[in-house]
Structure 1
Amino acid sequence: MIEVSNIVKAFSGKEVLKGISATFQKGQTNLIIGGSGTGKSVLLKCMIGLARPDQGNVLYDGRDFYNSDKDTQQALRREMGVLFQGGALFDSKTVEENVRFPLDMLTDQSAQEKQDRVAFCLQRVGLEAAAKRMPSEISGGMKKRVGIARAIVMNPIYLFCDEPNSGLDPLTSVKIDELIKEITEEYQITTIIITHDMNSVLEIGDNITFLYQGNKLWEGESKDITRTNVPELREFLFSNKLLREMQN
């Protein structure tokens, strides 16, 4: 479980996050939604240590990330897997080398142990046949799956996904959603997904947090979201064609 408490973050005097508190449960796909510029990605960066909040705490199963010593913070980072929006693959490395990179950087495993773990992760995302290919030789959807394999190669307890469906066609987006959902439940990971994809919200969102202009305006289950009375959330939801059709 991850708990964020009263997270405040400002850039150049402009407050981007205005006291965000939320709880993200183990074994669930926890989605953070909202329009552009609402603070979603900044909140994720504060959670994983890429941006330090000006105020507030982030607790990982009760462990205070920002009020811990350096060794504890490093240990917590090793328990995190991150799928970046653009994939962030190394163009000069093969698929298997990209997946192995965290093991090379952060572990003392033997070459055989690394090879076995990489092979398992590639098999888990259905890419064992692409191990020797370069990123330029695979599709966008395959790159996302490579990113997922790399994100789980260290056996993370916490998984962060920033717009995992960005740039993908609808069918591939569904497959990526299903894969993240399966991995979350299979390994009982605490998964947090930044997204604006309403299909993801309706199909795999166990818990939804809605941000608007740096404030949390709604939190709940996906089955309840279309019945919201929060005007900003209703405007966000029903500007989406899929949800307009559902209402008619």
Structure 2
Amino acid sequence: MIQIKNISKTFGDRKVLDDISATFKPGNTSLIIGGSGTGKSVLLKCMIGLVTPEQGEVLYDGRDFLKGDEETVKAIRREMGVLFQGSALFDSKNVIDNVRFPLEMLTDMSESEKEDRAQFCLQRVGLEQAATRMPSEISGGMKKRVGIARAIVMNPKYLFCDEPNSGLDPLTSIKIDQLIKEITDEFNITTIVITHDMNSMMEIGEQISFLYQGHKIWEGDSNTIVNTNVAELNEFIYANKLLRDMSR
């Protein structure tokens, strides 16, 4: 379980996050949604340690990530998996070496153990046949799946996905959503997805937090989001539906 309490972050004279609190449960796919510039990516960066908030707490199963000692913070980091928006693959490494990379950096596993684990994760995302291909030789959707395989290679308790459907066609986006949901359920991971994709909201939004101008102004799920009386959220949903319809 991840708990964030009263998170606030300012850049210059602009308050990007203002007193954000939420609880994210194991086995749930939790979405953080909002328009561009609403603070959702900054919130994710606060949760994974890339940005330090001026105020608030980030707790991983009760452990303080922001104020914990060095060993506590290292232990939490080893339990995280992150899928970055652009997949962030190493162009000079083939697919399986990209997946192996966290094992090389963070474990003392034997070479055969690392190979077996990387192969298992590639198989789990359906890319075992692409192990020796380079990132330049695979599609955008395949790159996302390689990114997911790398994110789960350390068997994480917490999985963070930043705009996993960015740049993908609608059918591939649905497949990526389904894969994230399956992995979350299968391994009982606490998964947080940053997105503005309407299909994601409706298909995998077990818990949804809506940010608007740095504030969390609504929380619910895929069943309640269509019946909200929050004007800003309704406008956001309508705009996304319009864009989705235009792209068909």
Cα deviation 1:63-89 (Å, max 9, x = unaligned): 111110011101100000000000000
Q: Partners in 2 of 1:73 and 1:244 — Cα distance?
A: 40
Establish whether residue 126 from structure 1 lines up as the match of residue 126 from structure 2. Answer: yes
What residue is the counterpart of 2:34 in the other structure? 34
- In structure 1, give the amino acid aligned to 2:172: T
Q: Is the 8 A contact 2:196 2:240 kept in 1?
A: no
What residue is the counterpart of 2:182 in the other structure? 182
What residue is the counterpart of 2:170 in the other structure? 170
Q: What displacement does 1:242 show? A: 6.1
**TM-score, with length taken from structure 1:** 0.97
Q: Partners in 2 of 1:239 and 1:169 — Cα distance?
A: 18
Establish whether residue 153 from structure 1 lines up as the match of residue 144 from structure 2. Answer: no
Establish whether residue 55 from structure 1 lines up as the match of residue 55 from structure 2. Answer: yes
Q: Partners in 1 of 2:151 and 2:244 — Cα distance?
A: 35
| Aligned 1:1-248 pairs, distance under 5 A | 1-241=1-241
Structure 2 residue runs of 5 or longer lacking an equivalent are none
Q: Partners in 2 of 1:122 and 1:105 — Cα distance?
A: 19
Q: Partners in 2 of 1:243 and 1:149 — Cα distance?
A: 30
Q: What displacement does 1:93 show? A: 0.2
Cα deviation 1:203-229 (Å, max 9, x = unaligned): 111000000000000011110011111
Count of residues in correspondence between the two structures: 245
Cα deviation 1:100-123 (Å, max 9, x = unaligned): 000000000000000000000000
How large is the RMSD of aligned CA atoms in angstroms? 1.2
Q: What displacement does 1:239 show? A: 1.8
Sequence identity (%): 73
Q: Partners in 2 of 1:121 and 1:159 — Cα distance?
A: 14
Q: Is the 8 A contact 1:238 1:244 kept in 2?
A: no
Structure 1 residue runs of 5 or longer lacking an equivalent are none
Cα deviation 1:118-142 (Å, max 9, x = unaligned): 0000000000000000000000000
SS of corresponding position for 1:210: strand
**TM-score, with length taken from structure 2:** 0.97
